[in-house]
Amino acid sequence: MLKSKTYQNSVCKSVSGALALVLAMGAFSAAEANSSRSNASQVKDVTLSQPGINFHVKLENKANNKHINNIDIQPMSDVMAFPLKGFVQCAKDKSVSFSSAKVYFGSVQRTGKTVVPVNVLHEAKYFPTASEWTGLIGGWVAEGGNYQPYEVPLSAVKNGPADLRIDPIAEFNKKLQKHINEGGSKLEFLKKEHLITINRPISLVGTCRESIDFSKSEFGSGYETQSIPVTIHYKGDPDLYGGIQKDNTANDFAALFQVTSASVTPHVKDYVGECPVDLKFRLSMKAQGAGTVKFRLIGEKGYKGGVHTINFTKNDLGSKIYDFSHAIEGAVKGGISNSKLAMPQQPKGNINQLAVPPSAKKIGSWKVEVIEPQKMSSDISYYSWKCESEKSPFKLKAGEATPPKPAPGNLNLKAKEVTPKLQLKAN
CATH code of residue 385 = 2.60.40.10
Domain boundary among 234, 266, 285: 234
Looking at per-residue pLDDT, the higher value among 112 and 359 belongs to 112
312 in a structural domain: yes
Answer whether residue 9 is part of any domain. Answer: no
Q: Is residue 28 part of a domain?
A: no
Query: Per residue in 223-264, pLDDT tens?
Result: 999 999 999 999 999 999 886 444 333 344 444 678 888 999
Q: Residue 373 contacts by C-beta under 8 Å, 6 or more apart in sequence?
A: 257, 258, 259, 291, 292, 293
Find residue 204's DSSP bridge partners: 103, 224
Residues 211 and 123 in one domain: yes
Q: Residue 393: inside a domain, yes or no?
A: yes
Give yes or no: residues 92 and 166 share one domain.
Answer: yes
Pair 215, 239: CB distance under 8 Å: no
Domain extent, residue 55, equals 37-234
Q: Taking the model in full, what pTM does it have?
A: 0.53
Do 91 and 160 belong to one domain? yes
Q: 206: Cβ–Cβ under 8 A, 6 or more apart, which residues?
A: 43, 46, 86, 88, 98, 100, 101, 128, 130, 221, 222, 223
Q: Which of 106, 91, 95 is nearest to 40 (CA)?
A: 91
Quick one: pLDDT at residue 225?
96
427: exposed, middle or buried (Cβ count in 10 Å: 0-12, 13-18, 19+): exposed
pLDDT tens readout for residues 97-156: 999 999 999 999 999 999 999 999 999 999 999 999 998 888 999 988 888 999 999 999
43 and 176 both lie in a single domain: yes
Q: Is the peptide bond before 373 cis (omega within 30 degrees of 0)?
A: yes
228 and 280 part of one domain: no
| 70 and 103 belong to one structural domain | yes
pLDDT of 1 over the 50 cut? no
**Cβ count within 10 A of residue 262:** 25
Per-residue pLDDT for 28 more than 60?
no
Cα separation, 107 vs 200, in Å, equals: 10
3-42 exposure pattern, b = at least 16 Cβ within 10 A, e = fewer: eeeeeeeeeeeeeeeeeeeeeeeeeeeeeebeeebbbbeb
* Residue 274 confidence (pLDDT): 85
| Residue 12 falls inside a structural domain | no
Instruction: Provide the number of structural domains found in the chain.
Output: 2
Tell me whether residue 134 is in a domain. yes
Distance between CA atoms of 108 and 91, rounded to whole angstroms?
21
**Residues 229 and 266 reside in one and the same domain:** no
Are residues 220 and 267 located together in one domain of the fold? no
> Does residue 61 fall inside a structural domain?
yes
